[in-house]
Structure 1
Amino acid sequence: MIIDAHHHLWTADYQWLAAPGLEAIRRDYTVADLVPQLDEAGVTATVLVEAGRCDAEETGEFLAHAATTPRIAGVVGWASLTDPAIAATLAGYRELPGATKLVGLRDQVQGVADPGHLTRSDVRAALAAIGAAGLTFDLVIHVGQLTSCAEAARATPGTIFVLDHLGKPRIAAAGLAEWRTAVGDLAGCDNVVAKLSGLLTEAGPGWRVADIRPYIDTALELFGPHRLMAGSDWPVCDLVASYAEAWTAIDASLGELSATERADVLAGTAIRTYALEVGS
């Protein structure tokens, strides 16, 4: 069994897609585009993650997709950590079609300039509220924010945090030492799991498995297979690799694991963390 723990859907008018260099993925990506990719790669089910539109309507649309698409086992929706009405936002999501597939939330923390953002009292309260609601919180951050993430995780032990893309190490800039030092503290928090996703994009065009392997090996050392899950980061991965190539690269990086450890990374951790209901 394979669970794609991290992919998106979007339409060509998402504002962030207007940035230079994103022309190759500046188009609509729909459920109809997704399912053939899953079939080709042998993926059983997926987790659909908010895609940077940063509005509640997107979460409603994604839950509706999940309600009618059995292969989408979970949705990580969007919520602002500075929303004073976050409790009402969560309650509203629970009333929507497909609400049973809401498994987590995410905010675009990577775009926040304030280095003290995750220390704010309202942000910490929002993180605690998300955990109290039985939802995880996905951390989409850059490597310079890893220390503050560790502090937030320790301050809100009742919330499960999911580190997207291993915290975006600067693979193309040979940033292994910098990243290892920064991620180690976060890996020491028992309420944090991490995703082997987005690494090919960080490696850039012309990537090789050898470029990402040291990061995956380090993540296995620091988190262990039982706290790691794999994701394609499709369609973002289309900038440098196809959906199938993304899975081939991950598979090639897990060659030394036991069958049980591979099963954790490829499915078990995602199922446990997101409380997914998937077939055998």
Structure 2
Amino acid sequence: MIIVDAHQHYWQPSRGDYGWLVQAPAALQQAFLPHDLRAQRAAAGVQLSVLVQAAPTEQETRYLFELAQDDSSVVGVVGWVDMEAGDVSARIDALIRDGRGLLRGLRPMTQDLADPDWLARPSLDRAFDCIQDGGLSFDALVDMRQFPALLRRLRRHPRLNIVLDHAGKPAIRDGRFDPWTRWMEELSQHPSLHCKLSGLLTLLGEPMREDAIEPYVAALFAHFGAGRLIWGSDWPVLTMQADYAHWLQLAMHLTERYASGRQAEVFAANAVRFYALDIDLLNPRSTP
């Protein structure tokens, strides 16, 4: 079975535009580049990946395009654009051109913004129109504070392909399940919204066991179904809690428990469809 990692990062702190890393654990404040993941990914049996931005600059998106040239496993990039720029249409067109088919989506770092209603600002309508018209997807990096704004955006752009990164970052370490699952029930009513099965282990607190994520995973399958869940590693953030192969095997085990026989969708087909990846899952020999 072909496996697509739909959420993975590379970064080089010496570039100077990863402001959030200053507050991150020291173990993450180093370079994570293709040669650091290649062997782990191969050992785990993951053939392909979607590279996701980690800095709020268009320069970093172009840096990811460059890295992808040296990593044949990368079949798509989710980049960043200044969505409030007056020339946002031209900026998106330029990224599409420079990516030469690699740009598959865009992601603002919404969780870091002071305004919890930012996603719903009418001034962003033009940017969302351009994302949709350009055949791109939108990654929603949000937590519960931004859910109301995300809901309003879904209503305003009902045909836009949106994926909820890291299951909307439930407050697992605080044991806050009910508010989050009520939001999952409401948000999942919008058929264009998908959800990433990613980032959950790093939301655990100490000394919580990893099986504490299971009620959250069960809720995701109950609300989104296997047809709208997309697996991602969230490497290298994942390394703070587990290794690459362990999270893959745990996620596969949970998928078999809650959606038996649907692993091919969660671990490949949904990502290929959502990001419109140029991959023939029925013909593995055509895979890079």
Task: Give the TM-score band, short-chain normalised.
Answer: over 0.9
SS in 2 for 1:103: strand
Aligned to 1:140: 141
- Alignment partner, residue 53 of structure 2: 50
| 1:25 corresponds to | 28
Instruction: Please name the residue that 2:131 is paired with.
Output: 130
Match of 1:113 in 2: 114
Q: Does 1:80 align with 2:82?
A: yes
Q: Which amino acid aligns with 1:79?
A: V
Residue identity (%): 34
Indicate which of 92, 95, 99 corresponds to 1:93. 95
Residue by residue over 1:82-103, the C-alpha shift from the partner in whole angstroms, topping out at 9 and shown as x without a partner, is: 222211111111231x420110
Deviates more, 1:77-86 or 1:54-63: 77-86
Residue of structure 1 in register with 2:253 after alignment: 252
Shift of 1:191: 0.9
Q: Which has the larger displacement, 214-223 or 75-84?
A: 75-84
Partner-residue secondary structure (3-state), 1:233? coil
Please tell me whether the aligned partners of residues 140 and 167 of structure 1 are also in contact (alpha carbons under 8 angstroms): yes
Could you report, residue by residue, the CA deviation over 1:60-98 in whole angstroms, capped at 9, with x for unpaired residues? 1111222342210110001132222211111111231x4
Measure, in 1, the Cα distance between the counterparts of 2:167 and 2:234: 12
1:173 maps to what in 2? 174
Q: CA RMSD in A?
A: 1.5
Q: In the alignment, what sits opposite 1:71?
A: 73
Q: Kindly indicate whether residue 162 of structure 2 is the aligned counterpart of residue 161 of structure 1.
A: yes
Query: CA contact under 8 A between 1:229 and 1:265: conserved in structure 2?
Result: yes
Q: In 1, Cα distance between the equivalents of 2:13 and 2:248?
A: 25
Q: In 2, are the aligned partners of 1:200 and 1:207 still within 8 Å (CA)?
A: no
Unaligned runs of 5+ in 1: none
* Cα pair 2:167 2:195 within 8 Å, conserved: yes
TM-score (norm 2): 0.91
Q: For 2:133 and 2:61, how far apart are their aligned partners in 1?
A: 19
Count matched residues: 276
Give me the whole-angstrom Cα distance separating, in 2, the residues matched to 1:200 and 1:227: 20
Question: Tell me, what secondary structure is at the counterpart of 1:47?
Answer: strand
Distance in 2 separating the partners of 1:66 and 1:194: 24
Q: Does 1:16 align with 2:20?
A: yes
**Whole-Å separation in 2 of the counterparts to 1:46 and 1:205:** 30
CA-to-partner distance for each residue in 1:242-268, whole Å, 9 max, x for gaps?
112221221221122222x11111111
Q: Is the 8 A contact 1:132 1:158 kept in 2?
A: no
**2:79–2:107 Cα contact (<8 Å) kept:** yes
TM-score, normalised to structure 1, is 0.94
Moved more, 87-96 or 216-225: 87-96
CA contact (8 A) 2:117 2:146 kept: no
Q: How does 1:149-228 map to 2 (within 5 A)?
A: 149-228=150-229
Specify every segment of 5 or more residues in structure 2 that has no aligned partner in the other structure, as ranges: none
User: Match of 2:101, SS?
Assistant: helix
SS of the aligned residue for 2:217 comes to: helix
